Structure 1
């Protein structure tokens, strides 16, 4: 397969990155390659045990890697605030908002938000806002929001963002992934000194697809998704390439989204077309206002 690969990542010595959900899948491989190319990387993970295992795997693969583990639960705003407070005083060059949940049975975060919207969007919105001073103190900061092809099916239902009246797991997931795109463009508009971009992995084999069936107790569906991953999906390492491109390649465009070039399904990363709703400024402004209100995190912007 031709095109951009991890070998094309430039030297990152002296740069600092945070990757959420770095214990497995896309996040792990993104953190691994950032560290391999010289960046100092914080693995922001919910589980200390799984995070430490990822830390040790990276150090085994890259003995000189500068990696540290930070505990972060995006479904708990107190954890988000504690994590951000521990980062104070250190410039942040790259923030990869990667962690996420997909198609779960109905659950609520510690703050009472619908779990998918609360984790995939609100947690990262709060984290980015709290890390804004660290990002602004870097020379050329980037924020990468990891979305999904399911954003094409997404709609921001401002009348029921928390799916309180009617919960459909895939509808809620698609809404949260569209929110990632809308947030990306609005962040770039309000904080133009930060390059805000989105990325999606196409169909990559991670544990994300099996978590929902496991929580529902559907062993058959869990096994089916595992089999589909094994036969159809590209590897998690390949799925991480759009994220790595967005985080490191020169010339990425403010507000753009990068994904696999072959029907946004697999292949080398390229700029991809997104749901037109992501480009509607009125949606960006409204989502921003609602997100600040729900999280209590107000960004310092000139807009």
Structure 2
């Protein structure tokens, strides 16, 4: 029997924060969790788009919906968002690291990091580590980090993580998605070693129709990519279907820390959620530890620069 949003257990009394909750997978995840009783914080770069999403979701929400303006490409904004969560709620049960950017021309975050690595990975790394104290001690608290099938093509170029020597937008995207699942696994290992009550899981949506694809095509200006996406369009499933793996990871009683979920059909491109393979590089303990240490260093340097 296929797992659907109807399978989600009652979430009453639980607080969930979802990055990128104003559209696509994030919006559908917020819709599902809110309708099952969770208080959902919509963490969005644009407050206006966050408020529009809140207005759309409000009629079916069984509990509270709040908008938090949070820009993952600005670590000061991430730190401010974590402080707001501490002051507003003082606790957190579910963190869905969902937001992301895909395939833009080379750009930098406010802190000077390559945009895709800085947003997709470092922003979520900083947010998660800042929010973990609010999750500790909560029953069945979970961090779900959303990656993609691009992880299987990624390589962590530790000698050029910011793509300063050479920038290929798809290589940079794949690196950021490999970093996502690598981070999720290392986080789980560290949580387990510390006897934490928090679990870390990963999920990917397969081929899901979201705003990432048209935004990527528009930023590239490539007629070939535009044509390719039009030809591939019948293969894409809805954002609601694409959100199922991350919702399963966040709520299914049988989901466990360190596991990775994705669609169960067409080689992981479509279908309901199931446990799927992890990119081999993410299974290497030395790579996981190195990424964590480098990420900690980069985030720390950005905080010091902000304070100076």
Q: TM-score range by the shorter chain?
A: over 0.9
Partner of 1:300: none
Partner of 1:51: 50
Q: Report the count of equivalent residues.
A: 295
Deviations 1:132-169 (A, max 9, x none): 11111422210000000010001111000011000001
Partner of 1:87: 85
Alpha-carbon distance in structure 1 between the residues aligned to 2:105 and 2:293 = 28
Match of 1:249 among 242, 247, 252: 252
Higher helix share: 2
Shift of 1:216: 3.0
In structure 1, the residue corresponding to 2:144 is in which secondary structure? strand
Partner of 2:215: 211
Q: Is the 8 A contact 1:156 1:175 kept in 2?
A: yes
Q: Is the 8 A contact 1:198 1:255 kept in 2?
A: yes
Does the alignment pair 1:186 with 2:152?
A: no
Shift of 1:174: 0.5
| Aligned-residue RMSD, C-alpha | 1.6
Deviations 1:103-151 (A, max 9, x none): 1111100000000000000000000011011111422210000000010
Gaps of 5+ in 1: 298-303
Alpha-carbon distance in structure 1 between the residues aligned to 2:169 and 2:249 = 28
Gaps of 5+ in 2: 302-308
Q: Is the 8 A contact 2:35 2:61 kept in 1?
A: no
In structure 2, the residue corresponding to 1:259 is in which secondary structure? strand
Shift of 1:225: 2.8
Deviations 1:22-72 (A, max 9, x none): 000000000110000000000000011111110000013x05442100001
Deviations 1:83-122 (A, max 9, x none): 1100015211100000001111111000000000000000
TM-score, normalisation: structure 2? 0.92
Partner of 2:243: 240
Alpha-carbon distance in structure 1 between the residues aligned to 2:121 and 2:167 = 17
Alpha-carbon distance in structure 2 between the residues aligned to 1:159 and 1:63 = 47
How is 1:16-35 mapped onto 2 (pairs within 5 angstroms)? 16-35=15-34
TM-score, normalisation: structure 1? 0.94
Cα distance change of structure 1 residues 113 and 26 upon mapping to structure 2, 3 Å threshold = same
Alpha-carbon distance in structure 2 between the residues aligned to 1:40 and 1:107 = 35
Alpha-carbon distance in structure 1 between the residues aligned to 2:143 and 2:230 = 31
Partner of 1:78: 76
